[in-house]
């Protein structure tokens, strides 16, 4: 039997893998074939004059080559498709 690559590789689950909730992105960089995307979340910050300002805080940095980002893009597109209502069906 030869080895064949699957479009959906087996992924071993890890209970210690982090879950990163994010609301936006910042700091998109590219250098030497490596891309970096900072993902952020908004949080309230109380200022010295007792007002509250919303600040973006980095929660993670996604790093990968072009192929990795293309795979991530397909996964995001597929996830968004799952959430798209289909006419005539309840979601």
pLDDT tens digits, 22-79: 999 998 999 999 999 999 999 999 999 999 999 999 999 999 999 999 999 999 999 9
The reported pLDDT for the residue numbered 14 is 78
Q: Please provide the DSSP assignment of 68-85 as one string.
A: HHHHHHHHHHHHHHHTS-
Q: Which residues contact 52 (CB under 8 A, 6 or more apart)?
A: 44, 45, 46
The reported pLDDT for the residue numbered 58 is 94
What is the residue extent of each domain of the chain? Answer: 24-82
pTM over the 0.95 mark: no
Whether 17 shows a pLDDT value over 90: the answer reads: no
């Amino acid at each position: 039997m030869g080895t064949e690559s699957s479009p959906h590789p087996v992924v071993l689950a890890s209970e210690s893998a982090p879950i990163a909730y994010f609301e936006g992105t910042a700091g998109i960089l590219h250098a030497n074939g490596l891309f970096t995307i900072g993902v952020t979340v908004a949080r309230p910050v109380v200022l010295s004059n007792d007002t509250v300002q919303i600040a973006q805080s980095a929660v993670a940095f996604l790093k990968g080559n072009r192929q990795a980002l293309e795979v991530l893009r397909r996964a995001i597109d597929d996830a968004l498709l799952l959430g798209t209502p289909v006419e005539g069906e309840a979601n």
